[in-house]
Amino acid sequence: MYNTPQLTGDLQQGLDNLAEFGYTVVPDVLTGEQLRCARDALYRAACDDRQRQREQLTFALDYGEPGTNQRLWNVLSRDPVFEDLAEHPRAMEYLRAVLGWPALLGNLSANICAPGCPGGYLHADQTFLGEPWPEAGPQGLNCAWAIDDFTEDNGATRVVPGSHKWNRPVRPDEMSTATVAMTAPAGSMIVFESRLWHRTGANVTQDQHRAGIFAWYTKTYIRPQENWFLSLKPEVQQFGSDTMLTLLGYKSHGFGLTYGRSPR
C-alpha cells in the first residue's frame, strides 16, 4: 500500500528517508545495559503513578477505555537515564540537520500501550500553527525511543508515509486515512518530523505492552509544552550540559530572557 523506509544507521540515508517518507528508523541506538535501565526506569515510573492514582487516564488524542494507554509527561524529571535520551548524540545529529541549532525540547513524554489499547487519533504535531503551514519545512521533530519492540500488533505508532509533503493538518473527514506501523526493534530511535500524520496504533496482543518515549523538539520561537522552569526537578539544570541547558531554554537569544539576558 505504501512504500516504507529501510532501517538505517546512516545519517544521510536517514535524512533522505525523512525527506521522502517523513520518518526514519535508526536501529540499535540503545543497547544492553542502557536499554535495560531506560526500560526499568520507565516501567517503574508508570507503576509509581498507577499506585498513587497519578496517571492520566484519558488524553485527547487517545480513544477507548481509560487507562489502556498510560501517558507519562515530563519523564525528564523521573530518572537521569531520560536526560541521556533527550540529549543523545544521535538525536542531536538529526535535530541539527532538520531544525538547526539552537532548538528546544518541548516535552519528553512516554506512553505505554497495553493489550486492548485501541490506539489514538490521527494528527500532526505542528497543528497548533494553524493553516497554512510555513513553506520552510517542519517546525518540530520527534525522536521516539522504542523501549519495547514496536510491532504491527502491539500498538506501534502508525503513520501516513509521505503525508508531510501535503504540509497541512489532518481534516476531520481524513481521520481514517490508511496508515502503516513504524515497526522497530527495542532500542531503536524513530525520527519523525512535525508535519507527518501519525497516531498511536491498536494493541491487539494478549500480553505485550509497548512503551515508547517521545522527545519533542521545536524551533526556538515555539513555546514548549512544559514550562521546565516550574516543572523540572532542579538537578537537571544544575548539572545540565550546555546542550541540555540550550534545549531547556536556559541558553537563550531573543526569547525566554530574564532581565533582557539569557537565564544562564
177 near other proteins (CB under 8 A):
no
Q: Cβ distance 2 to 162 under 8 Å? A: yes
Of 32, 89, 234, 254, the residue at the interface with other proteins (CB under 8 A) is: 254
Question: Which residues in 55-84 contact other proteins (CB under 8 A)?
Answer: 59-61, 63
Of 37, 92, 97, 129, the residue at the interface with other proteins (CB under 8 A) is: 129
- Interhelix angle 89-98/11-21, nearest 10 degrees: 50
The contact mask relative to other proteins for 198-237 (x = CB under 8 A, - = no) is ----------------------xxxxxxxx-xxx------
The x, y and z cell numbers of residue 18, run together, are 525523512
Closest approach of Cβ 170 to other proteins, in Å? 9
Task: Identify the bridge partners of residue 109 per DSSP, sorted by sequence position.
Answer: 214
The x, y and z cell numbers of residue 191, run together, are 525520527
Task: Identify the bridge partners of residue 107 per DSSP, sorted by sequence position.
Answer: 216
Distant-in-sequence, close-in-space partners of 239: CB < 8 Å, separation ≥ 6: none
Of 3, 172, 206, 238, the residue at the interface with other proteins (CB under 8 A) is: 172
Q: Cβ distance 70 to 36 under 8 Å? A: no
Of 96, 175, 233, 235, the residue at the interface with other proteins (CB under 8 A) is: 175
Of 136, 206, 207, 238, the residue at the interface with other proteins (CB under 8 A) is: 136
Phi and psi at 158, nearest 5°, equal -110, 145
Q: Which residues bind other proteins (CB under 8 A)?
A: 59-61, 63, 104, 106, 121, 123, 127-130, 132, 134-136, 139, 172, 175, 220-227, 229-231, 249, 252, 254-260, 263
